[in-house]
Chain A
Amino acid sequence: MKSLFINTSTKKLVIAIIVDNEIKYIYNDDNSNELSGKIMPIIDEAFTKANLKPTDIDTLFVTNGPGSFTGIRIGLTIAKVMAWSLKIRVIPISSLELMASMGSDTQYIAPLIDARRDYVFAGLYDNELNSIIDDRHVLLDDFKNEVNNKDVTFVSHDDLGYIDSKYDLLKVINKHRHDEGVNPHELNPNYLKLTEAEEKFNEGR
């Protein structure tokens, strides 16, 4: 397996080339500002450093949210167009699962992304990255109540008072390397939240 990994859904940009079980090149950036301008040169450099061409890869891994709507779309547009034009397998991965990949000493790990106004995008995973509670958009307090009887570690990149999350990329890749993948036309963001206009429109019905 020769693959490209793209994460633009969280605050930590990750571009990596993974060949079989080895990370040939990884770019980590804690600053996802100016993403749209800098991402393609980073991908180009990743291929160059790994001594591969885009046409050499057979698999694309891409996080499809939740997170910053614009951020998700930047990585996902690249993945969609690449997978469509190269006719290769594309595997979407939850950004919360990527955050959970750091593992914990507790039974479960709960990644959180600040969604403002006391809301978070949250999920609950075990240390093998099985999803225990589906990723959701939820009031932080409600989510905490829901999991408060469980042995859980909360992680977040945001200023929510929890430890920061690091990614174990190979763990995520190994979990998904045999996934079938999705049709690039149907590879879409998992926002977990309607737009405000849609919410108001639905309320008015």
Chain B
Amino acid sequence: MDTYILAIESSCDETSVSIIKNGSVEISTVVLSQMDTHANYGGVVPEIASRMHIENITMVLEECLTKANMTMDDITAIAVTYGPGLIGSLLIGVMAAKTLAYIYNKPLVPVHHIAGHIYANNLVKEMQFPLIALVVSGGHTELVYMKDNYSFEFIGGTLDDAVGEAYDKVARVIGVSYPGGPNVDRLAYEGNDTYNLPLPLDDDSFNFSFSGLKSAVINLAHNEQQRGNEINKEDLACSFENRVVDILTKKTMRALQKYNVKNLVVAGGVSANRMLREKLTILCEKESINLTIPEIKYCTDNAAMIGAAGYFAYKLGRRADLTLNAKATDQLK
């Protein structure tokens, strides 16, 4: 019998509902992004995000069911992102999911947001284990070893800024508008790697550090300004991006080698980064690594990935009861 997961994601500034069949087939997804609103403030304002989630939640639910031509009776279980994320935003999704689970007497499946990003890859092609997941987003930079479904072994991560965070700060310094990451990526493509920036934390560990690189960009921009020199935004963006992508790919390829793993999945908002996608594609082809990167629409926050992750959690018997609470931070497990 087919399993249909209705998934809800509201951890940051996207209200999203999706129906996923058997963990891999997207029946329908609705994503309502608040990005244009938050752009006015140069970043996500948590209270505004919460307000917009509650305004839209039932409309997004309805639209998703209508698009799927399904009713709640067709749904096997309800999956929801319980964390990590903005607590006020998460709460709307969690309360909505609990209410639906209660009214329709359906199993409630709690999903970790990062598990969702990783399982977005299962919507592209069936994930093969063991694998290494490179998780790169505004809040995460991690290498995770998975020997099977829902077995997450953390092998390295950022010691300071997440990669997306570093992108956003660099965007501010060189005067690129919100959302900074994608816009810096776009600029980088128009420039050349001319600035002498350090390769961050180039050691034998699987950890990352981006604060030094970030400071180097800030200092460089500041010094040039003092000297009355115009910085070349495109070239600076390109130089920055090259260092970031170099170290991410270098440590990822080494992790694959060390753990003797032939499967790599990339997850999180920064997996939309064009240079990262290109470089990993080339390197993995060379090393005969089975690489999966989600389509751009599954890289940013969406409920489809929660539905995919929710399916495997459901199959493994993971359940929450009506006391389920949102968590701002929580370890992937």
Contacts and interface: CB of A to CB of B under 8 A. Distances in A.
Contacts of A188: 54-55
Contacts of B325: 34, 36-37
B95 A54 contact: no
A41 interface: yes
Interface residues of B, number: 32
A84 interface: yes
A75 B68 CA distance: 28
Given A40-B323, A73-B92, A189 B57 contact: no
Given A36-B94, A40-B99, A70-B88, A85 B104 contact: yes
B100 A81 contact: yes
A81 B326 contact: no
A196 B45 CA distance: 10
Interface stretch (B22-30, B58-66, B209-217, B245-253): B58-66
A36 to B, nearest CB: 5
Interface in B37-67: 40-41, 45, 47-48, 50-51, 54-55, 57-59, 61-62
Contacts of B94: 36
Interface in B87-145: 88, 91-92, 94-96, 98-100, 102-104
Interface in B295-328: 322-326
A3 B92 CA distance: 23
Contact of A37 (B45, B48, B323): B323
A197 B94 CA distance: 25
B72 interface: yes
Q: Which applies to chain B's interface (DSSP): helix, strand, loop or mixed?
A: helix
Contact of B45 (A34, A73, A86, A195): A195
Contacts, number: 93
A21 interface: no
Interface in A181-205: 184-185, 188-189, 191, 195-198, 201
A81 B91 contact: no
Contacts of A43: 102
A76 B88 CA distance: 13
Most buried by A among B92, B95, B98: B95
Contacts of B104: 85
Contacts of A34: 325
A80 B57 contact: yes
A197 to B, nearest CB: 4
A76 B50 CA distance: 12
A77 B57 contact: yes
B9 to A, nearest CB: 15
Contacts of A78: 95, 98-99
A74 B50 CA distance: 11
A44 interface: yes
B95 A36 contact: yes
A82 interface: yes
A5 B51 CA distance: 22
B44 to A, nearest CB: 10
Given A36-B91, A40-B102, A43-B102, A81 B45 contact: no
A77 B88 CA distance: 12
Contacts of A197: 41, 45, 47-48
Given A36-B91, A40-B322, A191-B51, 19 more contacts: A40-B99, A41-B323, A44-B322, A54-B102, A69-B47, A69-B51, A77-B95, A78-B98, A80-B54, A80-B57, A81-B57, A86-B103, A184-B58, A185-B62, A189-B51, A195-B45, A195-B51, A196-B47, A201-B41
Interface of B: 40-41, 45, 47-48, 50-51, 54-55, 57-59, 61-62, 72, 88, 91-92, 94-96, 98-100, 102-104, 322-326
11 contacts: A37-B325, A73-B54, A73-B88, A77-B91, A78-B95, A80-B58, A81-B103, A82-B103, A85-B72, A85-B100, A201-B40
